[in-house]
Amino acid sequence: MDEGYLEFSEFLEHSSGICLGHNKQYLVTSRLRTIMKDLETESLHDLLSEIKRDARGKLKNQVVDAMTTNETLWFRDSHPFDIMKRIILPEHFENSRAASLRIWSAACSTGQEPYSLSMTMDEYGKMHPSRGKINHRIVATDISPTALEEAKSGEYAMLALGRGLDAAKIKTYFDEQGDGRWKVKRDIAQSVEFRSLNLKDSFAALGKFDVVFCRNVLIYFTAELKKDILSRIHGTLKKDGYLVVGASEAVNGLADKYEMVHCRPGIIYRAI
């Protein structure tokens, strides 16, 4: 295997937690092509040398950003959002644990998940008009400055909207901007707060949550880091709060912290 690739893999894992494995050279090449062309570097070894010479860390941030920016979908996998309406929200409010709800969308990418959650809260409120407007706050975090910038803008091309949204939802929750782009309506966007966060870092400043969505990112980490992140997420959850992970992800080896809940369809984890 190319020595430069191994060296780069170690750099990326140390910087972001992402474990590339032994068959991702094509991914690295495609995502870093523009940066390497601009720098006129021909190898990953040379790129890492440039990163070490950049005292301000700007190039390091650019490279990590390029490697961690991923596409996502609106209402991805659908089950978690249905579970919110069928199980989590009714239980939360009927038990009168609190008048409000705090949700964390970890690794939120370009914003589709937290905005989908805000829409889900709106839909639940309309299903239960007697409750009045539900007070909720969604904290959305990501390591990528580029992804967060797009997420904060709340503007998307129709092609991006078509990945998970039907015409009715687009009409209900977006305003056309007149340039082929659509902007999330203010009442949906105002409940979402975007913050920069590396999942390897402390979560202490985030506060406590009733629900944490951490989906489709744990698969990129080593088993050791994954367990560490899930343990620290537990520290952010209120007692009996819920963790939602991706369809291909599971919470293993943490039976003292989480209880699996079968929702048929779907699985979530209750903090104990």
Please give the average per-residue pLDDT across 180-191, as a whole number: 96
Q: Are residues 8 and 94 in the same domain?
A: no
Query: Is residue 74 assigned to a domain?
Result: no
Query: Is residue 146 assigned to a domain?
Result: yes
Express each pLDDT in 234-247 by its tens digit: 999 999 999 999 98
Express each pLDDT in 98-126 by its tens digit: 568 999 999 999 999 999 999 999 999 99
**Confidence at residue 179, expressed as pLDDT on a 0 to 100 scale:** 87
pTM score, whole prediction: 0.89
**Confidence at residue 1, expressed as pLDDT on a 0 to 100 scale:** 42
Q: Which of 20, 39, 68 is the last residue of a domain?
A: 68
- Evaluate if residue 129 carries a pLDDT over 90: no
Q: Which of 68, 92, 107 is the last residue of a domain?
A: 68
Q: Are residues 144 and 264 in the same domain?
A: yes
Q: Are residues 167 and 241 in the same domain?
A: yes
Domain count, the chain: 2
- Evaluate if residue 229 carries a pLDDT over 50: yes
Q: Are residues 119 and 151 in the same domain?
A: yes
Express each pLDDT in 145-180 by its tens digit: 999 999 999 999 999 999 999 999 999 999 999 888
What is the spatial order of strands in the sheet that 174-176 belongs to? 155-157, 181-184, 174-176
Range of the domain at 222: 79-271
Please give the average per-residue pLDDT across 65-82, as a whole number: 89
The CATH number assigned to the domain holding 109 equals 3.40.50.150
Q: Are residues 88 and 47 in the same domain?
A: no
Q: Are residues 87 and 158 in the same domain?
A: yes
**Confidence at residue 263, expressed as pLDDT on a 0 to 100 scale:** 95
Query: Is residue 192 assigned to a domain?
Result: yes
- Evaluate if residue 190 carries a pLDDT over 60: yes
